[in-house]
Amino acid sequence: MNAQIHFIRHGRTFANEKSLYCGSTDVPLSESGVKEILDFKSKGVYPKAELFITSGMKRTIETFNLIYGDIDFITIKGLKEYDFGDFEMKSYNELKDRPDYQKWITDEIGDVRCPGGESKNEFYKRVDQSIQQILNEIFRRKAGSTMIVCHGGVISVIMDRLFPKERNFYEWHPKYGLGYTLDFSKGTFRGYKDIETTLKKTESKHKNI
């Protein structure tokens, strides 16, 4: 089976604008986030699809509805953003002097949990399981194209897992409202396209008209 799987990061939120750790906190899009998604939509950035999936959080559902309207989608809760626990809705400057925060950000193995949250390894495992759920839904519905609206950290994990030699985790982080299109065929992921490249081509085309 051949399939295209599109991963889009949700639009900007006030937590993003204030550089706060926001994972499990269910915040909506900001006014500028809404405008940005609608602008991308007007430029034809977002592809059509047969199957739609979100993480079920407000910011992903709002992004999805702005792009595709009020149509049905599947919720996969494992696609939720990293749970920062007690660090939620706090900035680096608020946390930098806390020993538990320093222990977490300097952890190279990935076993240190955010207090009340999860560890990096637990997050990776959860996203791995979600990738399999996505594929199960695609096979079950025989969907040739799937649109998934989720989160920056989740998309970075997926790309880091599937294409580990090309970029590191942080370099995979997509801009708000953008992401990647993955090609899946013969039982494996064979390549990807950066949706930002599509945007740049569209913008260039408009300038030349």
d(CA 154, CA 57): 13
CA 1 to centroid of chain Cα atoms: 24
3-state secondary structure of 109: coil
Determine the pLDDT at residue 189: 94
> What is the tens place of the pLDDT at every residue in 142-154?
999 999 999 999 9
Q: The whole model's pTM is what?
A: 0.93
**Both tokens of residue 65?**
């509805």
Instruction: Give the number of other CB atoms < 10 A from CB of residue 2.
Output: 10
Determine the pLDDT at residue 201: 65
Determine the pLDDT at residue 196: 80
**The pLDDT of residue 177 is above 90:** yes
Determine what percent of the chain falls in helix, strand and coil, rounding each to the nearest 5.
45, 20, 35
Query: Of all residues in the chain, what percent carry a pLDDT higher than 90?
Result: 89
184 and 11 in contact (C-beta within 8 Å)?
no
d(CA 52, CA 73): 5
Cα distances from 109 to residues 93, 96, 112, 113, 152, in angstroms, run 24, 20, 8, 11, 21
Average pLDDT, the chain: 94
> What is the tens place of the pLDDT at every residue in 162-176?
999 889 999 999 999
Determine the pLDDT at residue 113: 97
What mean pLDDT do residues 184-209 have? 76
Instruction: Give the number of other CB atoms < 10 A from CB of residue 71.
Output: 8
Q: Work out the pLDDT band at 77, boundaries 50, 70, 90.
A: very high
Determine the pLDDT at residue 203: 60
> What is the tens place of the pLDDT at every residue in 32-54?
999 999 999 999 999 999 999 99
**The pLDDT of residue 208 is above 70:** no
Q: In this predicted model, which residue has the larger pLDDT, 197 or 74?
A: 74
Determine the pLDDT at residue 165: 87
